Amino acid sequence: MVIKFQDKQYELISKIKTMGSGNIELYAACDATKREGARYTVACVNDMELARKLVPVTTKNNTSCTFKDLYDSFNADGRYYIVFSHADGRSLQQAMDKGNYRLQERLLLMKNIYAQIFLLNMPECFVYEALRKENIVLDDSLGVRFNYFFTEINYYWQVQEKDLINRAGGIVHELFARELEQKKSRDLAEFVMDLDEGRYGYLWDCYVAYDEVYETVLAKTEHRELESGRFWWRAWERFKKMLPTVRTALAAALIVSAAIYLLWSLPNPALSDNGVSFGQIGTLKIKEMEQTR
């Protein structure tokens, strides 16, 4: 299916999903004249009342010129169409499920998420949408792109700054869960505490604060002051894990040694008419009294 508007033609390649209680259909699309593969996400809004509410945040005249992910919006065939860029690749959710990123990479990744949000300067409702882990798409160099799937459209007109801060804070919590749990970085812990306690009034304040944390923690990591990967630390951690086994082995060795010592120090018993006699047991010397007949 090809949608035409003025001099533009969008070919719908495949349906992604239906959102907004069936009022929005999402399609992967391409330029019909070039056929370069999926480059766009086309949202087809069937409910015109919903469309009127979306116009202020989905038209070029009403949004920042830096919001380049928004390509187009128009009415055609009794429907309202919104055209966004389409990001292919591994989502942040998939990347976090694998959990194979080093600390330096995760630090850079969070910085790129913040930076891309402010570079695009999108409306708050789309910031809220973009900060979903399944909507953040990563490339091989940890660059960040976003998909816009109208996942929580019913909440779009209620989004406040604190919602954006909380959603970004959730990503921070998950990205650095290991360091926070093991208390490896005071700088990260203090930043997260400030997030949780609501000490930042705006998402921009969070970005500025995180940028300082990024530089500090990265410098410490590069100088091996943060990571618990130094030899002595690794050896101590291994020893603590092995300590119960070591204790058991030492106890067993002590018992065996005592038994061997006792056996070694005891003389071979000599049987006589008077029974078995011992001259010494261990370090204890035994004196025998002569019996007179």
pLDDT band of residue 8 (cuts 50, 70, 90) is confident
24: pLDDT strictly greater than 50: yes
Helix (H, G, I), strand (E, B) or coil at 97: helix
pLDDT at residue 3 in the model: 84
- Summarised one tens digit per residue, pLDDT across range 230-272 is 555 556 566 667 777 878 888 888 888 877 877 776 655 544 4
- Summarised one tens digit per residue, pLDDT across range 166-215 is 999 999 999 999 999 998 899 999 999 999 999 999 999 999 999 999 99
pLDDT at residue 292 in the model: 47
pLDDT at residue 7 in the model: 78
277: pLDDT strictly greater than 60: no
Cβ–Cβ under 8 Å, residues 171 and 111 = no
**Nearest CA to 82 among 37, 147, 7?**
147
pLDDT at residue 249 in the model: 81
Burial readout 31-64 (b: 16 or more C-beta within 10 A, e: otherwise) = eeeeeeeebbbbbbbebeebbeebeebbeeeebe
The Cα angle at residue 169 between residues 59 and 66, in degrees rounded to 5: 25
pLDDT at residue 269 in the model: 53
pLDDT at residue 244 in the model: 78
36: pLDDT strictly greater than 80: no
The pTM assigned to this predicted structure is 0.74
pLDDT band of residue 5 (cuts 50, 70, 90) is confident
